[in-house]
A and B are shown apart, each in its own frame.
Chain A
């Protein structure tokens, strides 16, 4: 019998050894340096990049997570300089004609990661990939300012009618339908990325699907990609400005769970966290906690076709009756700023390109103006011929935080105005779908800027617009937006947009609540690391490690 027991125990031991052998392998340790070498401080960074992206095909990119990877490994005609600004990239200089409809870019000597030169034809090939009617992409419309682009993409025009012209190997020209003051910003986007035709045809459908199927021209290149787990980026020696790049290696881990990300930061496995909640922030030193404006405005989305919400005074009353600061301090506990206007401060400049748009008009109403709200509510009810507001439905995302916020607003409306609401918590995709179909009453929604111009926020609300969820319609507003888009004179353009925002806030189809800022953590020994409200978000290109050994 002892023999059987010994046999069983032996089998168990063999099994456990076999299991450990079959399991995941530990990463290989690097070779030790020789005794004579003096290793400088390793320039290696480990960050959280949240999750696997939908695609890394440049022309197919649309999310912040994708666009930031583009910024790390690629360079367009211009490159993001942070805060919605751009600087020369592969194009060392560029100019536009008198009316701003023809932009000419002059390329510097730059190479792909395999040493072949980046040429103007690569940019045209990339743009035509984006416009190919056989492969529709989310952000193809970013090219629709170019003559003939929309027609070709929707199958109504031909490729040779598209206003992109390769003048010579180092010069490319774009002809636009109307002046676009921020076109230099648009070309920094992945939709305008250069693609070497020979490489794309060689790899075919595998383009950018695995580490070995990338050809890049940016500061870093992809060394390895373990799907759903991590990506490793290393310095690209062929990058034209490699002297400015100090980091040798960046490892991006895909950690989606907030608590796991923070635990990994605390244990030293991560040098950075995507976000921090109030409790996590309190556990860190001041030097590690940073804040940035993510550029989004969050607001009440009112369905203006609703029999009660069609009245603007009712909408304004509901908007004015919220104590934003108290909500931010006690409910959300986030570094947000109360919004009493729509277009975000900080990131959107005025006509001079420097002064914030918000400086001229910081807000349109007072936060927590309960008295003003009551007056407007009474006026609104009188105009509608009703004596009481019926129960209204408030739609929000089904995450715990969103529902908590909804409950806070529910309480404030009940207390301040006697208005009762019923909360409908739905998945995000359902909320967006119902908003688009105008199948809601009030919703909690947000919008982030695509480019550094007030139009990124204002043109949402033209009659029939794809993102005009409130179904707002004001011909005066529509004309102002249309005229502003066509106006070549910058000062006049911005004046028209100012009038448009005045009307939007007077009619209030959307009631601003807060502008979102985010906290994140980064080690004090990581220098030059930035986060940006515009895509790209995480910016480590010019970062370096200093003082880690201390």
Chain B
């Protein structure tokens, strides 16, 4: 296990380096520069600004400086937020994105699992059909549409929840639901199919024959075995939630890091885009690694290094 973790960390570092480098070079390839706006700076001042930010140096040198700073944890200064570093912007925005993301994942996972269990236990009955409806709606309708509809009906028409911002528990409800609906839909269907698969296994028949109570069978055998594969898809869901947060944060005016992705591409804020991509990429790599380790710990049959117990 230890050797496996070390290998995965090494692979993670290489992945991060590739992601950061690719993003950095792609940003350089886009025409224009960060100082371009309608009221443009006069050419002499533009040259001074470029020199100040090191943009007048050859690309290879700029890349070297960036990577050296990156390794030391310095993600540079934002061109569009001149008085703040990328580190500060991420540090300030991350708690909001993390809070919203955590709520959406926990809510989405919990409700999805419960819905899947109930649907499987009521196969071809009302709850099962309801779960199909939720799945279709959750997968077909993008998060931003759900967000806009909720905002209008619950915030404007009924006035039962605040329309935007992120100041209280009430403020978190609509964005959390909008962001987690897709996850609920997919986890519910996946859990349902896993449960139905497990329910049909011979050991379940044996358990029933042994006289175990229905609740014990459901909890100790059916849910516990069905839930394991669902955990493996948590990684992609975390990525999907993070991606979905970009739009949801903008719609609900949540000051997280998601909205910077959209804004900083429009303003060609190289360092902010690269910094946030590097940060998010690093986060995703380690989250996936943690999930793999978790899976190995939960299921004693599995040894991630391929050896058998």
Listed in ascending order, the chain A residues whose CB lies under 8 Å from chain B are 1-2, 4-5, 12, 15, 19-20, 22-27, 51-52, 54-57, 60, 62-63, 133, 135-138, 140-141, 154, 208-209, 226-230, 253-257, 259-260, 263-264, 266-269, 427-430, 432-434, 436, 445-448, 450, 466-467
Contacts and interface: CB of A to CB of B under 8 A. Distances in A.
A326 to B, nearest CB: 26
Q: Please name the 6 residue pairs, one residue from A and one from B, whose CB atoms are nearest each other, closest first.
A: A228-B255, A136-B48, A26-B168, A433-B32, A429-B32, A229-B255
Interface string B252-284: 110100010001011110000000000000000
Contacts of B170: 26
A24 B171 contact: yes
Contact of A12 (B81, B96, B110, B167): B110
B196 to A, nearest CB: 21
Interface stretch (B9-17, B122-130, B147-155, B289-297): B147-155
A255 B84 CA distance: 20
Contact of B219 (A5, A25, A138, A467): A5
Nearest to A21: B169
B225 interface: no
Contacts of A12: 110
A269 B163 contact: yes
Contacts of B266: 427-429
B164 A260 contact: yes
B164 A432 contact: no
Contacts of A140: 45
Given A1-B215, A141-B42, A430-B32, A269 B164 contact: yes
Contact of B164 (A255, A433, A467): A255
Which among B38, B42, B49, B259 has the highest number of chain A CB atoms within 10 Å? B38
Nearest to B168: A26
Nearest to A436: B40
B93 A466 contact: no
Interface residues of B, number: 66
Nearest to B164: A260
Contact of A2 (B40, B99, B215): B215
A479 B268 CA distance: 38
A267 B219 CA distance: 46
B168 A260 contact: no
Given A52-B81, A141-B45, A23 B103 contact: yes
B64 interface: no
Contacts of A436: 36, 40
A513 to B, nearest CB: 16
B253 to A, nearest CB: 5
Interface string B161-205: 011111111111000000000000000000000000000000000
B233 interface: no
B41 A227 contact: no
Nearest to B253: A255
Contacts of B52: 135-136
